[in-house]
Structure 1
Amino acid sequence: MENPIFVQCQMLIRKPIAEVFEAFVNPEITTKFWFTKSSGKLEEGKMTTWTWEMYNVSSEVQTLKIVPNQKIETLWGNPATNVDYEFQEMKNGTLVIIKSYGYSQTGDDLAKVVNDNTGGFTTVLDGCKAWLEHGIKLNLIEDKFPAE
């Protein structure tokens, strides 16, 4: 039975919907605020590898569905969970909603993954907003767990 718990994070990004959507499918842009390397653009039905070089971590991302300028549905992580990205045109820009669900964990393990996903996806949205609106690379992902 699938766990009914889900994470939802959102942010208004004051840019046109096509520009914001492209930032999530095109690694030339996404690497400015999230992962450091990608095996390619997100494409429906394809597997993509995202890498965070500073942590020596990679993740396989399966793109299940893409509705241009509206939604990206993916499956990724270990154990794999669904992560959907929704894009809604607003008067002042684009509302991005990230939903993560389908967790297999329970108890304390579930609490930890929900906490990690909430913080992680919020950080991604914050970095995306800074990059797209102001051209500032905040290094949020790199600085979240600094090595000393």
Structure 2
Amino acid sequence: MSSNIYVEAQMLIRKSIEDVFEAFINPEITTNFWFTESTGRLEEGKTVTWEWEMYGARMDVKVLQVIQNQLIKTEWGEPSTYVDYEFKEMEKGTLVVIKSYGFSQQGEDLLKIINDNTGGFTTVLDGCKAYLEYGINLGLIEDKFPSK
């Protein structure tokens, strides 16, 4: 049973909408603030694999829809959920809103996944902002769950 609950994280990134959108579809940029490897760019109808080498984790990501400089819709995870990336041009830059929904978990499991998604996508947006605005890779994803 899929819930109608969704998680939302957002951040203003002080760069053009073209630059910010490209950062999310182009793994040569995205690997500087999120995953470490990808099998390709996000293109509508394509499935790519993202990898986080430091954790030995990988994820297949189905790209459901791409509207240039506006929207990326994906499905990924186990059990799968939907993740939308919305881009809105603002006076001072680009507002990125990440929405995750379609959760099948209930009770405590649902609360945990909501917490994980909120924290995770906020960290991604923080890293993206630092990288695009200042050229700094903060290593946030690697440091989120450090090994000993």
The question of a shared fold, defined as TM-score above 0.5 by the shorter chain, is answered with yes
Is it true that 1:140 corresponds to 2:140 in the alignment?
yes
Match of 1:84 in 2: 84
**TM-score when scaled to structure 1?**
0.99
Aligned to 1:25: 25
The aligned amino acid for 1:41 is R
What is the alpha-carbon distance in structure 1 between the residues aligned to residue 52 and residue 133 of structure 2? 23
Query: Which letter maps to 2:75?
Result: L
* 2:98 aligned partner: 98
Number of residues of Structure 1 aligned to a counterpart in Structure 2: 148
The runs of 5 or more residues in structure 2 that have no matched partner are none
Per-residue CA deviation, residues 19-41 of structure 1 (Å, 9 max, x unaligned), is: 00000000000000000000000
**Structure 1: runs of 5+ lacking an equivalent:** none
Report the equivalent of 1:34. Answer: 34
What per-residue deviation string (whole Å, max 9, x for no partner) do you get for residues 53-87 of structure 1? Answer: 00000000000000000000000011100000000
Counterparts of 2:72 and 2:145, CA distance in 1: 28
Q: Percent of aligned positions with the same letter in both sequences?
A: 66
Check if 1:55 corresponds to 2:55. yes
User: Which deviations, in whole Å up to 9, do the C-alpha atoms of 1:4-51 show, x marking residues without a partner?
Assistant: 111000000000000000000000000000000000000100100000
Distance in 2 of aligned mates of 1:80 and 1:15: 31
Q: CA deviation at 1:2?
A: 2.5
Q: Residue type matched to 2:109 in 1?
A: D
Structure 1 CA distance for aligned equivalents of residues 78 and 54 of structure 2 = 19
Q: In the TM superposition, what is the alpha-carbon distance from 1:126 to its structure 2 partner?
A: 0.0
C-alpha separation in 2, matches of 1:120 and 1:42 = 20
Give the TM-score normalised by structure 2: 0.99
Query: One-letter code of the match for 1:46?
Result: K
Matches for 1:115-130 after TM superposition, within 5 Å: 115-130=115-130
Partner of 2:113: 113
